[in-house]
Structures are given as structure tokens and as C-alpha cells.
Structure 1
Amino acid sequence: MDTSSPGAFRAFSPVQISTIVVINIIWCMTMIAAIGIGATHLNRCPVQFYIPIYLIVMGASSLLSLSLTYTNNTWKEGAVYVLSTVFVSLLHLFSFCWFIAGTSWVYSVYPPNYLPEEDRYCHKTTYLFAFIVTTVTWALVVLTFFCGGCFALLTCCRTVSARHRLIPNRHTLYGGTSDSQEATAGDV
């Protein structure tokens, strides 16, 4: 297989594969739990009745998105690949919007009462699960953007420092480093 082309398969190390599998299993179990908790306690959060629905839809869309992503990785061309790519893109957009809406539903009623006799009542497990999943997801988003920003900054710094070493002058050939000795008469 030609690995030099842009769409070529990239080999992963066993550690990378194991990490991806473990993260996907944990995420699938969390989303299955979200569906189960949301469906079980569908009418037990009158302070914000969208919270159980938020859990059900978030879990279902995440599981569907993950399975379609695996379909994309299996089928590399053809109509199935194009359709699943379009659908995954739309599903990610929907999931992002749903997550923003769910965040406002969960955080707007913090802290609810957990006793059914109270006015601002929400089932404790349902609310805390939604709160924890939403908070952890936001923390991961912030961490991802922070690490991405650090990586971009390091890349820019390395590019700028490499640029200063690669600037040609009258003593070097184009592409030579500025740390090199003067070019000999035969090199010019």
C-alpha cells in the first residue's frame, strides 16, 4: 500500500489503538447509561423536563455518530462513504447545538431540589448525571482548545526560528542554514 499519498492509510501503534478503543468503550458505556437514565426518569424532572430528553438524544446521537464514523473508516470510497460523511457532518452540527441547549437546561436550574415534594424538583441521579457529563465534556473541550493553542504557538515559534536559520545570504546556497560556513568558490 502506498503511504505517501494524502488519503493513504496511516499505521497506528498498538498503544494508540488500545487508547482509542478504551476511550470509545468508555464513551459508549456513558452514552448507553445516558439513554437509560433519561428514559427511566423521563417524567421525574419537572423543574426542567428537557433534561431527561437531553440525555436520551445526546446518547443516541453520540452512538449513531460513533458508528457512522466507523463506517467511514471502513468504506473509503463510493456512495456509502459520501452519504455517511454528509450525515456525520450534519449529526456533529446537530450534536453541538443540542449540547449547547442541554448546557443551558442543566445549568439554569442548578441546584435543583431532589425531594419530590418541593417545587424545583429533579430526580437526583438524572440531574447529577446530566450535570457531570456536561461539565466533563466542557472541561475536555477547553482542554482540547488549550492544547491545540499551545501546539499552534509552538509550531509558530519553531517556524519563525527555523526561518531565521534558512534565510539565504550571499555566502549560502538557497535552503542552507545560516549557521553553515562560508560557501567555497566551487559551490557558488
Structure 2
Amino acid sequence: MMDQSMAAERELTRTYGFWEGVKFVVFMGINIAEIVIGALYLHQCLLEPKIPIYLVVNGVVNILIISIGFFLEPHLILYALMRIMALFSFCWLITGSIWTFPHFTSYYDECNNILYIVTFSSLIIQYAFIFMLLIFTIFTVSSSRYPERMRAVIIS
């Protein structure tokens, strides 16, 4: 019995580690693409010259957050640093939205198409991620607060 539970735990750890690696590669790839596209088209958005800067800074900050969380051991100072960078990232998201969204119907001739679409898509994906995280948090808090009610909902 003990061997089965240990084997199941090892399998769960290996599967969890695999998916953590996949998440790491996907998120790093997205952020590296943001940096590259922002740098390539740095002076090709006359409509709002700050859009490429938004992409570069967003990619760099997110890579720092991911790297600290993935590679370094948990420590109070690193945890505080990650939270400060996450707060900056959220404020930067709002700033990027202010620079990007008002020009959705008028960017065609004055801003590089690839640059604008990547920025717009990045913002939408980040808002969707925040929304899913919020829903997950609400579900987790409510299920831990009322476990009997949640168990009844799941069973029925």
C-alpha cells in the first residue's frame, strides 16, 4: 500500500514538473517575442511612440517575475520583490491599455500592423489571465469557506 502511494506521489510530482516546464517555456517565449517585436519596431508607431516601449518593458518585467519564481528558492525578500514587480506589471498593463486601446480603429497608417496587433493581443490575454485568476481565487476561497456546500454542489 505504501509503495503505491509513493509511486503515485512520484508520478504526480513528475507530471506537475512537466507542466511547470511547459508553462515556463510558453510564458518565456511570449515575453521574449514581446521584447523582440517591441525592439524591432521601436520607431515605427507614429500614432503612439510609447507602444513599443510598453512591449519591451512588459516582456522584461514578466521574464524577471517568472525567473525569480521558477529558479530561486522562496525567501521573504524575493517574495516581496516579486509582489512589487507584479504591482508594477499591473500598473504597466493599465498604462499600456491607455496607450493602445484608444487607437484601435485608427492605427492602420500610423503604426506598424504587427506591432499594434501583438500589443493589443498581449493586453487582451493579460486581462483574460487576470479574470481567470480572479474567478479561480473566488472559487477557492468560497470552497474552503463552505466545504460542505461545495461538496454537495460537486456531487449533485
Number of the residue aligned with 2:4: none
Number of the residue aligned with 1:84: 78
Q: State the alpha-carbon separation in 2 of the partners of residues 94 and 88 from structure 1.
A: 10
Matched residue type, 2:70: Y
Cα offsets for 1:32-59 (capped at 9, x unmatched): 0100000110111111111100000000
Count the aligned residue pairs. Answer: 142
Cα offsets for 1:69-112 (capped at 9, x unmatched): 23432xx5xxxx44433332222221111111112211121123
The residue correspondences of 1:160-175 to structure 2 (distance < 5 A) are: none
| TM-score normalised by the chain length of structure 2 | 0.79
Structure 1 unaligned regions, length at least 5: 1-10, 116-120, 163-188
Q: State the alpha-carbon separation in 2 of the partners of residues 36 and 66 from structure 1.
A: 18
Q: State the alpha-carbon separation in 2 of the partners of residues 25 and 33 from structure 1.
A: 12
Matched residue type, 1:156: R
Matched residue type, 2:50: Y
Number of the residue aligned with 1:21: 21
Query: 2:31–2:63: 8 Å Cα contact kept in structure 1?
Result: yes
Query: 2:52–2:115: 8 Å Cα contact kept in structure 1?
Result: yes
Q: State the alpha-carbon separation in 2 of the partners of residues 66 and 28 from structure 1.
A: 8
Instruction: Kindly indicate whether residue 85 of structure 2 is the aligned counterpart of residue 55 of structure 1.
Output: no
Q: 2:104 aligns with which of 110, 113, 122?
A: 110
Shift of 1:151: 2.8
Instruction: Name the structure, 1 or 2, with higher relative contact order (CA <8 Å, separation 6+).
Output: 2
Number of the residue aligned with 1:142: 131
Q: State the alpha-carbon separation in 1 of the partners of residues 78 and 143 from structure 2.
A: 35
Matched residue type, 1:110: F
Query: 2:51–2:99: 8 Å Cα contact kept in structure 1?
Result: yes
| TM-score normalised by the chain length of structure 1 | 0.67
Instruction: Kindly indicate whether residue 114 of structure 2 is the aligned counterpart of residue 125 of structure 1.
Output: yes
Q: State the alpha-carbon separation in 2 of the partners of residues 72 and 158 from structure 1.
A: 34
RMSD: 2.4
Matched residue type, 1:125: I
Structure 2 unaligned regions, length at least 5: 1-9, 152-156
Larger radius of gyration, structure 1 or 2?
Answer: 1
